[in-house]
Chains A and B, each alone.
Chain A
Amino acid sequence: MSRVEARAAGLYHRTVVTVLFLILLLPLAGTLLYSISTSWSATILPDGLTLKWYAQLWTDPRFLAAFGQSLLVCFGALLLSVVLILPLLFVVHYHFPKLDGLMNILILLPFAVPPVVSSVGLLQIYGSGPLAMVGTPWILIGCYFTVALPFMYRAITNNLQAINLTDLMDAAHLLGASTWKAAFLVVLPNLRKGLMVSLFLSFSFLFGEFVFANLLVGTRYETLQVYLNNMKNSSGHFNSALVISYFFFVLLFTWAANRLNKDKA
């Protein structure tokens, strides 16, 4: 390829990327601008700029409660996932590698049933009787666990396959380590990356989850997305401030996750 051609191709590539970036960014930029304008209806540009919508949002106790409850449910579900999936994965890959195929099918099941359908089922089972959990955060934690399962399982499995688990465990055993010690000192530190990536991915996903939260719990334990839905009739500026705040939080979280991963890699 000649230099002129290379430059033309470079220009083309940059244009495509820039246009794509703009398309993705424009709605967000519009929302951001709307959230800091006093009013914006009949003119091309807003009448004036203000932070009052943000002040109003961040002093609303209902918003703060929803925010906190969202965090709590997400962290609860992720904690449950880590506690259950890590040992499970270890056992499957170290002792029963043949089960991996079966696990892969089980893991994908939550994807096979649309959330709306499965929440109807969950309402039936947990709506009454000994396990009446509908309307409490517990059902959300359990439900989010199944949603996070595929992400966590796949990411950590890839990680496990990359480290040659059997040989590492064998080597550690021969050097005098018990299975527990080998798992904690040798295997776990090497899974950190996959674990972190899957945790942040699942968090971003769960933090924005609406269908289960709305159908199973609704206003009885309001999460951020349900709150947003319930506020749809209030001022558009206020809602924009809410969306931007939400987006900014997830952005911050993702950035922190990336930093954390780079430092120790």
Chain B
Amino acid sequence: MSFLSIQGLHKSYAATSIFSDINCEIGKGEFVTLLGPSGCGKSTLLRCIAGLTEVNGGQILLEGQDLVPLSPQKRDIGMVFQSYALFPNMSVQQNVAFGLRMQKVSKDESAKRVKEALDMVELGSFADRYPHQLSGGQCQRVALARSLVTRPRLLLLDEPLSALDARIRKHLREQIRSIQQELGLTTIFVTHDQEEALTMSDRIFLMNAGKIVQSGDAETLYTAPVDAFAAGFIGNYNLLDADAASRLLLRPVTGRVAIRPEAISLGVGDIDAEVRSHSLLGNVIRYRVEARGVELLVDVLNRSADDLHGNGKRLTLSIDNDAIREVA
């Protein structure tokens, strides 16, 4: 029996169904990401688990106990919000201590645990500051400490990094992951950012239009997308319809075909192509080439000047056979 088990969960507003028949199993200590475009129902699913949004049917079993009839106060779940949701009238210390105050934990015990939690997010010296005196990244770390201090059974993170700038986001990503592993805390993370999902998660649930499209570890999701949506959402797959694919591969293809841009090599092979445009992404050069009347994205590692090809240059390319995936 898994730690968290969601069975046949259903949610709709009036006639609009947000998601229906969601089923998933999450093991203890797992870091799971709900990934999907905005409006796919991932945040609503998270809020349903937290009890902030009511469900219309189904079960959420945490350690075998059904959470659905419980109020959010009784679920023993910690949550971090995109907007931080720190209490502006309280200092950092008071914010973190709030949950313990509600549990009527003694003052000494509370002070000790608040200090531990703040040290864990490296904000031990900020206890007396107020939220408006902190940067976004610091606010989010306080919010993390606040949700950890009550030692919840489950930690929910609702796009906690989306409001932060790129450098801080990267740092906080690593910090969240290492704290989660240190505490062995079962965590569900919601994001629309594929890079965040791929780098942080033990397992990813890819969602679209209220359904879990695919689940698996980062490698499976990246290398073996099950359908056109999965291929389109993760990575920068070349998605070809049956016609274009048949023309390019010179063999009859019945379904759609997905080819990763880094599985195509330039300057080798026997497919004639012409460079349409290129852009330098740093260590990678991304080419837009045309081969046999089909436009393709090709990613090439930027190792030396030999890897640079000007627009209009004619060359040949080859496609790694294992990387050609037929998708539904």
Contacts and interface: CB of A to CB of B under 8 A. Distances in A.
A175 interface: yes
Interface in B145-202: 146-147, 150
Nearest to B104: A176
Contact of B85 (A170, A178, A181, A189): A170
A172 B89 contact: no
A173 B72 contact: yes
Interface stretch (A48-56, A116-124, A160-168): A160-168
Among B87, B143, B146, B147, find the residue whose CB has the most chain A CB atoms closer than 10 A.
B87
Size category of the binding interface on chain A: 10 to 19
A175 B89 contact: no
B102 A176 contact: yes
Contact of B83 (A167, A176, A186): A167
Contacts of A243: none
Contacts of B85: 164, 167-168, 170-171
A23 interface: no
Contacts of B78: 174
A172 B79 CA distance: 10
A178 B87 CA distance: 15
B52 A173 contact: yes
A19 B103 CA distance: 61
A133 interface: no
Contacts of A173: 51-52, 71-73
A138 B34 CA distance: 59
Among A172, A174, A177, A189, find the residue whose CB has the most chain B CB atoms closer than 10 A.
A174
Interface string B41-67: 000000000111000000000000000
Given A174-B72, A175-B146, A176-B73, A168 B87 contact: yes
Nearest to A192: B89
B89 A190 contact: yes
Given A163-B88, A189-B89, A190-B88, A174 B102 contact: no
Name A's interface SS: helix
Nearest to A191: B89
Contacts of B89: 186, 189-190
Given A176-B150, A177-B73, A189-B89, A171 B79 contact: yes
A63 to B, nearest CB: 42
B52 A174 contact: yes
A147 B26 CA distance: 57
Interface in B113-171: 143, 146-147, 150
A175 to B, nearest CB: 4
Contacts of B71: 173
B98 interface: yes
B77 interface: yes
A163 B88 CA distance: 8
B73 A186 contact: no
Interface of B: 50-52, 71-73, 75, 77-79, 81, 83, 85, 87-89, 98-99, 102-103, 143, 146-147, 150
